[in-house]
Amino acid sequence: MTEVLRVANCSGFFGDRLSAAKEMVEGGDIDVLTGDWLAELTMIILRRQLAKNPAAGFAGTFVTQVEQVLGTCLDKGIKIVSNAGGLNPRGAADAITAVAERLGLTASVGYVTGDDILDRVPDLIERGALTNLDGGDVVDLAGRRPLAANAYLGGWSIASCLERGADVVVTGRVTDAAVVVGPAAWAFGWQRDSFDEIAGAIVAGHVIECGGQATGGNFSFYDEVPGIERIGFPIAEIRRDGSSVITKHPGTGGLVSVDTVKAQLLYEVGGPQYANPDATARLDSITLTQEAPDRVEISGVRGERPPSGLKVSMAVEGGYRNQMLLCLTGEDPEGKAAIAEKTIWNMIPGGRDAFERVEVDLLGRNAEDPQTFGAATTLLRIAVADSNEKLVGRAFSGAVIQTGLSTYPGLYATSPPGGATAYETYIPAMVDVGEVTATAYVGDDAVEVRETGLDLAGSLDAPSYDEGAASAPPTGGATTRVPLGRLFGARSGDKGGHANVGVWARTPEAYAFLEATLTTPRLRELLPGIDDLAVRRYPLPNLQAVNFVIEGFLGDGVSSSLRFDAQAKGLGEFLRARHLDIPQDLLG
């Protein structure tokens, strides 16, 4: 009887290290090889590919990786489970079957469909069955054409494929954790209402879903990570009771510590209730323990019933955008930038107000007595968006070029002017769980899998959040004004049009200061440009962390955002660079 299931990750996104699958299969004992290929932006990219080629629409790099390891996986009994099927899971399964035949191997390949509800969007909207995830109103496309609509499925359809002997399972849009939950549910015989066990697997899946981010990648204290230039990918050793140990293969670069695991737990999450189609994991119940070097135990995870709806990732026609990067050399970059803007907008009828959206950034500042040309350079970034392609393209670029010799001294651009590029708008939606049925195929054998067999009348309580701390910041004692990152770590990312920033402490004393000091008003002081945005604040004492969700920070999502950091990846590090008065005894 299986008591521990070793699930290894080999991909955190479409484009991750191609050799990772082979490294994980050959680096030590594992039972399941999995990975995540699908971000919201990836679904849009795959939709474009599918429009040009009906045989495309899945991650071709996954097929390449399977070809590298399939023989070894079959010999060792290692299952391969991935969401790399994208918008064409059957096409991905056929490609893998062809690889097996070419290699002279016999492999049972399963695939899961049912997440793609694009053709049903008009009917669902007409019936009021497709609502906005954030506001609850019926989705309004405002005359725009939907380009993609995929419901996030859970892990039970994956488990069904494995139960029927599949060696490889490819899915479309499932939750990032589902590729771990499915194998665990299959291996341990969990039931639909095994909420605590499932929640434990959800948490483990969330930790390893982004590959090297759990083993020291994208980590605030990167200088503590040995071998960071070649980080090993993570492994989750999942136990029958849902607890797990996060580790990596011996001898590989990177670090698995309470802090690296904690950082990933805070990545792209909201409140303490982490809802998935299979269960809702309570992030405020997690206990992390450093069991041994590069081994962190996750225990105590409590689970609750899943929500009665499935999240739907939608993309609709957006508009057009363009940007120019102009270089400002030497003194007074603010003054030079003001002249450039005034001159450029004067060339366009209607000026800046002619565009639906405009984003202007000054990137960097010239150094005092610069010793290199780069140290004397500031970048002026002007980005525009509008439904008028000509305005965004020819009119905007032409205005910039035509003013090239008649504005601030030393003007030059980083690249030639470009035309307008189309973008898609992201809509986070919700559909009732009863509207979606997954179909799990193994060869020609098809089994329908309902996303839940449970009575889910009603909905989960909305997680509560606060504006600030319940207690006043510690007083007395000397303080030093230093960057917040001197004491605290942070991890940030995108949640559709929202951004999250999780900040954590490394000692109970530092957490007491963090929880009391980093209130929502203080966050607004530290992060410019969020005064008009709603901010949700969630303390997580068990992780010595505070998580913030900044609503609308990325507009209508990554694909349409005009921000320089369109996925909010650097937002946490920007926050860590801001200065606070911190007690000296905490800095010691």
Q: How far does CA 493 lie from the centroid of its chain?
A: 6
pLDDT at 153: 97
Q: Note the pLDDT tens digit of each residue in 27-38.
A: 999 999 999 998
- Backbone φ, ψ for residue 255 (5° rounding): -150, 130
Question: What is the SS3 assignment for 117?
Answer: coil
Q: Note the pLDDT tens digit of each residue in 286-340.
A: 999 999 999 999 999 999 999 999 999 999 999 999 999 999 999 999 999 999 9
pLDDT at 458: 46
Q: Note the pLDDT tens digit of each residue in 444-475.
A: 999 999 987 555 544 455 556 666 655 555 55
Domains of the chain: 4-114+153-272+294-299 (no CATH), 319-425 (3.30.70), 479-587 (no CATH)
pLDDT at 365: 85
Q: Cβ neighbours of residue 33 under 8 Å, at least 6 residues apart? A: 8, 10, 21, 24, 25, 69, 73, 78, 79, 80, 81
Question: Where residue 41 falls among pLDDT bands split at 50, 70, 90?
Answer: confident
Contacts from 469-474 at CB under 8 Å and sequence distance 24+?
A: 469/515, 469/516, 469/517, 469/519, 469/539, 471/515, 471/516, 472/516, 473/513, 473/516, 473/517, 474/512, 474/513, 474/516, 474/583
Residue with tokens 């959206």: 357
- Backbone φ, ψ for residue 549 (5° rounding): -115, 120
Q: Cβ neighbours of residue 337 under 8 Å, at least 6 residues apart? A: 328, 360, 362, 378, 380, 408
Mean pLDDT across 116-121 = 96
Mean pLDDT across 246-265 = 98
pLDDT at 438: 96
Question: Where residue 585 falls among pLDDT bands split at 50, 70, 90?
Answer: very high
Q: Note the pLDDT tens digit of each residue in 185-199.
A: 999 999 999 999 999
Mean pLDDT across 189-215 = 97
pLDDT at 198: 98
Question: What is the SS3 assignment for 29?
Answer: coil
Mean pLDDT across 99-110 = 97
Out of 391-405, 449-463, 515-529, pick the least confident: 449-463
pLDDT at 409: 95
What predicted TM-score, i.e. pTM, was given to this entire model?
Answer: 0.94
Q: Note the pLDDT tens digit of each residue in 144-166.
A: 899 999 999 999 999 999 999 99
The two structure tokens encoding residue 78: 């290692």
pLDDT at 456: 54
Out of 11-20, 218-227, 459-468, pick the least confident: 459-468
pLDDT at 459: 46
Q: Cβ neighbours of residue 567 under 8 Å, at least 6 residues apart? A: 493, 494, 554, 558
Residue 379 has pLDDT above 90, yes or no: yes
pLDDT at 203: 98
Q: Note the pLDDT tens digit of each residue in 56-73.
A: 999 999 999 999 999 999
Give the DSSP H/E element, type plus range, for residue 122: helix 121-126
Question: What is d(CA 184, CA 198) in angstroms, rounded to the nearest whole number?
Answer: 8
Question: Where residue 42 falls among pLDDT bands split at 50, 70, 90?
Answer: confident
- Backbone φ, ψ for residue 511 (5° rounding): -65, -40
